[in-house]
Amino acid sequence: EADIYQTPRYLVIGTGKKITLECSQTMGHDKMYWYQQDPGMELHLIHYSYGVNSTEKGDLSSESTVSRIRTEHFPLTLESARPSHTSQYLCASSRLAGAGELFFGEGSRLTVL
């Protein structure tokens, strides 16, 4: 069973607000990822990390930023939310070696008014 948690599950916020989506995993995985997904649609990789102090941008350009100060924690921040940021954000993790499957959190559904 996957042990990866995302908070909040749902967030409705006004334009211009700063938000942080939290993601934590208890599996000791080195790799962590953030995907953006419109409901039922394709997943787009926006950030990933191979370990502490490692962060990279994904294939889809995003105005969000991430940090990886601890292995288990990979928060995503939007400094100034806009309606175009409305989406579902999925956090995932996997072990470093080999091609382990991705374990996903339940997602954070963000709505920016």
Partner 1 sequence: AQKVTQAQTEISVVEKEDVTLDCVYETRDTTYYLFWYKQPPSGELVFLIRRNSFDEQNEISGRYSWNFQKSTSSFNFTITASQVVDSAVYFCALSEVDNFNKFYFGSGTKLNVKP
CA 15, 106, 2 angle in degrees (round to 5)?
145
Q: Which stretch binds partner 1 (CB under 8 A): 22-30, 62-70, 77-85, 86-94?
A: 86-94
Q: Which stretch binds partner 1 (CB under 8 A): 18-26, 60-68, 74-82, 94-102?
A: 94-102
Whether 109 and 10 have beta carbons less than 8 Å apart is answered as yes
Of residues 53, 69, 70, 99, which one binds partner 1 by CB under 8 A?
99
DSSP letter at 101 equals: P
Please report where in the chains the tokens 């926006």 appear, as a residue.
46
Cα separation of 97 and 47, whole Å? 19
Q: Which stretch binds partner 1 (CB under 8 A): 14-22, 65-73, 78-86, 97-105?
A: 97-105
Shortest distance in whole angstroms from residue 57 CB to partner 1: 13
Please report where in the chains the tokens 């374990």 appear, as a residue.
103
According to the binding rule CB under 8 A, does residue 33 interact with partner 1?
Answer: yes
